[in-house]
């Protein structure tokens, strides 16, 4: 009993002591000790929260909140000018297989618009810039390319590698038909068009709203043929045609004998056909000239694919043989591409920005009526030609072979000849004897079904300032005004060119012959002047240049008649090259390099002189 109270007393006191000392002292003092630090511990977080963490953590959410939703969630808008008409003479076959591969070319906006020359208060073409300056200021907007890549990733499309994508402002995307249709808001189907199965899309292209001001064109969804070659093979009849070799035509137009285009490259755009080296070697041997150095550049899967004389081979061989024989010192680069709006435009941008072959002039002998093109395709191709003009690259284009109708009803002009940034080339019927022109009139053999020169007034492109005094007729529509063509040359197949195609020699004409003829003249001018003449329209429309042309005043192409000065059949006329070339020199061009080139080229043109002496011959 005496021990129990001790145990109880001992067992109670320790808990009481511990209960009092620990809760009363330790828990109270720490809170008292932390009352002062707490405000300090709160202030730093507040300071950090405002100055650093919040600034960093709040800005991204704000940026994200401004960014549009994912592309798939955005409202869709129609890409301006992308509406594609229903394919005529077509029959539906099936939906495009969803797993089939499709590659499209997306053309995006520039960093900065090209600057325009203002002479006398009027626009006179783009300001000439260096390639370095072009890349720095006028290539693709980097933010636009970034957006297209993000768009491609979301829709499972592959961005094709291309070192020239920025300069060409073109991003190529490849994907399945199913993904492509979702990405661009279109329906793809297979149809037979004129008996051939094609991939067709109709109506507009629908883009996410955030890409509305970024994308200028989407090409390649539809692979219908876009253009036609503008050459004409003389139809056999009771009257044999008068035939000239290209050097003989050059002699009639007084190409300088002491210049050959040495140091220049002539680019040629081909939407089909091909050439055989054996044919070229044989042909140039008959002219007393070495075969030209030719490079085939393949664009968008295009091929040098010669077949027979009735195919587009006739176009390819005509272009090469004319250009290379009137400028025998120049190199030739042929850009083969599919006959689609995508292929056509990609080939031009590839040639313009080709820093390997570096063509100083580009010849195009393909085209079609303006109404057969979509607005987006026309503006994209014209923009490519505008870039060429800014870089000092001349583009010559055939004006068409179907007279003032261009093969349709009413009056129509051919595109891309109607672009204000190309030299549109019309056709004449030439009677020449050596360096003397006996007569030259408008080419019009419609009665014999042998075609006629294209020409008229654009319903799309406005009247350029350099044509302001040319008395161009009013357009038939509410818009347009650009007169076609600018210049002319021999094109009538009854007075055509002796050309070799797939082992067969025949007489070929068409404005297809005039584009490479003028391209050769430009190459010769570039060599002789020691500089690239580039965009020559403002110069050739000047009053003082009139005497450098053979003014064609007789004939018509249907709705339009020839007359003094510019007309919608033959433009300013055919060239007197010896007078014209000195007038093409840009104001800043130095004539010292020209003198050196002149001396060195005299030795190289002896074969050309020999070729020009060959007499005019009759086809039997």
HSE of 249, CA atoms in CB hemisphere, 13 A = 35
Residue in 417, 400, 410, 397 with CA at minimum distance from that of residue 460 = 417
Residue 319: active-site member: yes
d(Cα 325, Cα 570) in Å, to the nearest integer? 23
Whole-angstrom distance, CA of residue 237 vs CA of residue 54: 88
- Annotated active-site residue in 319, 354, 370, 490: 319
Q: How far apart are CA 253 and CA 574, in angstroms?
A: 7
SS (H, E, C) 454-513: CCEEEEEEECCHHHCCCCCCCCCCCCCEEEECCEEEECCHHHCEEEEECCEEEEEECHHH
- For residue 252, CA distances in Å to 232, 383, 575, 576, 608 come to 21, 35, 9, 8, 14
Report the distance separating Cα 338 and Cα 592, nearest Å. 43
CA distances from 17 to 22, 32, 223, 449 (A): 8, 22, 96, 125
CA 174 from chain centre, in angstroms, equals 20
Beta-sheet pairing, 414-415 with 366-369: antiparallel
CA distances in angstroms from 150 to 52, 80, 95, 146, 344, listed in the order given? 30, 22, 28, 6, 27
Rounded to 5 degrees, what angle do the CA atoms 326, 274, 422 make? 55
Burial class of residue 479 (count of CB atoms within 10 Å of its CB; 0-12, 13-18, 19+): exposed
495 in Cβ contact with 429 (< 8 Å): yes
Q: Is 518 helix (H, G, I), strand (E, B) or coil?
A: helix
User: Any idea of the CA torsion for 333, 339, 345, 351, to the nearest 10 degrees?
Assistant: -10
For the chain, first and last CA: distance in Å? 153
Give CA 242 to chain center in angstroms: 36
Q: Are strands 90-95 and 189-193 parallel, antiparallel or unpaired?
A: antiparallel
Q: Examine the residue annotation and report whether 315 is marked as an active-site residue of this protein.
A: yes
Q: 324: buried, middle or exposed (CB in 10 Å: 19+, 13-18, 0-12)?
A: buried
DSSP secondary structure code for residue 140 in this structure: B
Decide the pairing of beta strands 331-336 and 265-270. parallel
Find, among 253, 306, 345, the residue nearest to 577 by Cα.
Answer: 253
How far apart CA 23 and CA 549 sit, in angstroms, is 113
What distance separates the 2 farthest-apart alpha carbons in the chain? 155
4 noted as active-site residue: no
Q: Which helix (H) or strand (E) holds 413?
A: none
Contact (Cβ atoms closer than 8 angstroms) between residue 508 and residue 520: no
Among the listed residues 222, 279, 315, 341, the single catalytic one is 315
- Annotated active-site residue in 260, 387, 458, 512: 512
Rounded Cα distance between 598 and 227, Å, is 39
Rounded distance between C-alpha atoms, residue 250 and residue 489, angstroms? 10
Would you please indicate which residues are annotated as catalytic (active-site) residues? 315, 319, 512
């Amino acid at each position: 009993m005496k021990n129990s109270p001790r145990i109880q007393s001992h067992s109670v006191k320790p808990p009481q002591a511990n209960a009092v000392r620990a809760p009363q002292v330790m828990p109270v003092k720490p809170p008292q000790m932390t009352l002062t630090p707490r405000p300090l511990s709160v202030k730093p977080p507040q300071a950090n929260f405002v100055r650093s963490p919040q600034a960093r953590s709040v800005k991204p959410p704000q940026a994200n909140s401004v960014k549009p939703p994912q592309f798939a969630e955005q409202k869709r808008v129609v890409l301006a000018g992308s509406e594609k008409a229903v394919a005529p003479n077509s029959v539906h076959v099936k939906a495009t297989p969803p797993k089939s591969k499709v590659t499209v070319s997306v053309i995006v906006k520039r960093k900065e618009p090209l600057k325009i020359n203002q002479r006398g208060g009027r626009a006179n073409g783009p300001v000439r810039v260096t390639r370095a300056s072009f890349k720095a200021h006028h290539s693709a907007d980097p933010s636009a390319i970034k957006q297209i890549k993000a768009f491609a990733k979301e829709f499972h499309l592959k961005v094709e590698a291309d070192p020239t994508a920025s300069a060409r402002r073109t991003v190529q995307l490849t994907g399945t038909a199913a993904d492509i249709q979702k990405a661009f808001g279109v329906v793809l189907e297979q149809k037979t068009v004129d008996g051939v199965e094609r991939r067709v899309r109709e109506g507009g292209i629908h883009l996410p709203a955030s890409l509305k001001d970024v994308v200028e064109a989407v090409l390649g969804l539809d692979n219908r043929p876009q253009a036609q070659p503008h050459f004409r093979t003389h139809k056999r009849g009771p009257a044999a045609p008068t035939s000239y070799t290209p050097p003989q035509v050059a002699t009639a137009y007084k190409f300088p004998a002491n210049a050959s285009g040495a140091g220049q490259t002539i680019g040629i755009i081909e939407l089909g056909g091909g050439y055989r080296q054996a044919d070229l070697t044989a042909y140039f041997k008959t002219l007393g000239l070495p075969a030209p150095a030719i490079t085939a550049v393949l664009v968008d899967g295009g091929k040098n694919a010669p077949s027979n004389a009735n195919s587009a081979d006739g176009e390819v061989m005509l272009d090469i043989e004319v250009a290379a024989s009137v400028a025998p010192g120049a190199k030739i680069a042929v850009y083969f591409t599919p006959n689609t709006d995508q292929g056509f435009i990609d080939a031009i941008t590839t040639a313009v920005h080709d820093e390997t072959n570096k063509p100083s002039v580009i010849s195009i002998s393909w085209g079609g009526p303006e109404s057969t093109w979509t607005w987006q395709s026309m503006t994209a191709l014209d923009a490519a030609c505008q870039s060429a003009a800014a870089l000092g690259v001349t583009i010559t284009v055939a004006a068409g072979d179907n007279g003032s109708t261009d093969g349709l009803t009413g009056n129509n002009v051919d595109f891309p000849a109607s672009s204000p940034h190309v030299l549109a080339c019309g056709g004449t019927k030439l009677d020449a004897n050596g360096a003397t022109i006996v007569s030259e009139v408008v080419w019009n053999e419609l009665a014999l079904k042998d075609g006629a020169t294209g020409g008229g007034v654009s319903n799309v492109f406005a009247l350029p300032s350099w044509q302001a005094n040319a008395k161009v007729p009013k357009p038939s529509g509410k818009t347009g005004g650009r007169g076609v063509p600018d210049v002319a040359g021999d094109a009538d197949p009854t007075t055509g060119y002796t050309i070799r195609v797939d082992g067969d020699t025949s007489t070929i004409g068409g404005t297809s012959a005039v584009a490479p003829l003028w391209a050769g003249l430009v190459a010769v001018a570039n060599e002789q002047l020691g500089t690239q003449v580039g965009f020559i329209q403002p110069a050739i429309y000047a009053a003082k240049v009139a005497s450098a042309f053979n003014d064609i005043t007789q004939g018509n192409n249907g709705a339009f008649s020839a007359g003094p000065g510019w007309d919608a059949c033959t433009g300013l006329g055919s060239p007197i090259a010896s007078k014209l070339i000195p007038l093409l020199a840009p104001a800043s061009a130095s004539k010292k390099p020209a003198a050196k080139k002149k001396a060195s080229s005299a030795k190289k043109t002896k074969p050309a002189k020999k070729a020009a002496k060959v007499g005019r011959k009759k086809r039997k």
